[in-house]
Structure 1
Amino acid sequence: VACLVNLCPRDAATREVDSHCFQTVAHECVGAFAACAGLDVYRRRITGRSKALGLEYGDGEEGDEVEDLRAALAAAKRERPDVNSVCSGAILSDYQRLRVEAVCASLGLTSLAPLWRVEQREVLRRVEAEGVDARLVKVAAMGLDPGKHLGMSIADARETLIRVEDEYGSHCAGEGGEFETLVVDCPMFARASLAITETRTVKTSEDRFAPSGHL
């Protein structure tokens, strides 16, 4: 791994933006990844929005949020000419995968998606087996409760996530937006790990069947 690239809200005080491609919850923690991993983190504010909603992205569209990804990767490549590929966590979404591939192709980069089409229960198993401590920082699905499940590790929530998938047909690895995570420790964090010492739960929906919220 040569460096990390992150897209964050235009307003630093904003915790979450309405994006079809990018997670922004817990974005304020991403800067600390540089110290934890000993890698440069290149960040760019999201100025666009989800405009081109078709499956294929093509040559791009001015004002679309994907153009912020293109600009962020181009900037990282200028700073690090040795960068030749981009690794993303796409599992099942062609919408996201095709956009990353289109941007990478335009910049002469190879798109890597090592988890693509891996069975989602296997993804959860690998997260735990590889020593990745990822915490739930957003939940938005039937069977998940912001007051109960936010802050839990994937390892601790694994049985619940599988049960919710069995009962409601959701995606136990969160590929349908059921939850989002923040990695606080992993093998790549060779220098330090993150410690969550204080949190506040923000409920974004009090829906009776599928309440949602984030830390």
Structure 2
Amino acid sequence: MCTSCAAWDGRDCSRSRRGRGGCRPSLEGSLRRLGTDHVDLYWLHVWDDITPAEEVLQGMADLVRVGKVRYHGLCNTPAWFTVQVATLAHAHGLPAPVALQMEYSLVSRDIEREHVRAARELGLGIVPWSPLAVGFLNGKYNRDQSPAADAGRLAQASTPSSSAHARPTSWRRTWPRPTTASPTMPRAGSTRSVHPSSATPTGSSPVR
């Protein structure tokens, strides 16, 4: 049985739950809902980019020590942060993460650059999420059919949103177009201004 630390909402840094005691309330709520006194695997779901690795590790180690968590893992964390947490655990004799959960599919293989090798060296298991690319690989979407409004994450990413942060549908037409009155820049060693389009590197000819 596994669960994860509640996600940070991305708006208020003070509400981050990745600190030493931050994940405990989230875990207590999960245990209450699951009707158990411990979980086998507890994920740190998405690092907040703020909490130091030492504090994250100590918080997870505390939960393991009191018996509420047997093992802990990292989810969607940068490779360097994963290595830092694991290295600190081994150096200080603390419970180290045992698994790494990352997006991995035939169309999303970014983890092969660093995460796979890091996991192999550190002895971490890799648990892929979205192996079918939110339905893209099993034929849920095609070129001639727009995804339905409730067809999952891919549909939400491809349809306009009513949120204040949504990108306008005509965003490609909202960029300012260049005008004839372009700024000028001085040529090195000269006080005369030169139009950017006429500046040519020394020893080369303009591209025709």
TM-score, length of structure 1 as denominator length: 0.34
TM-score by length of 2: 0.35
**Pair member with larger Rg:** 2
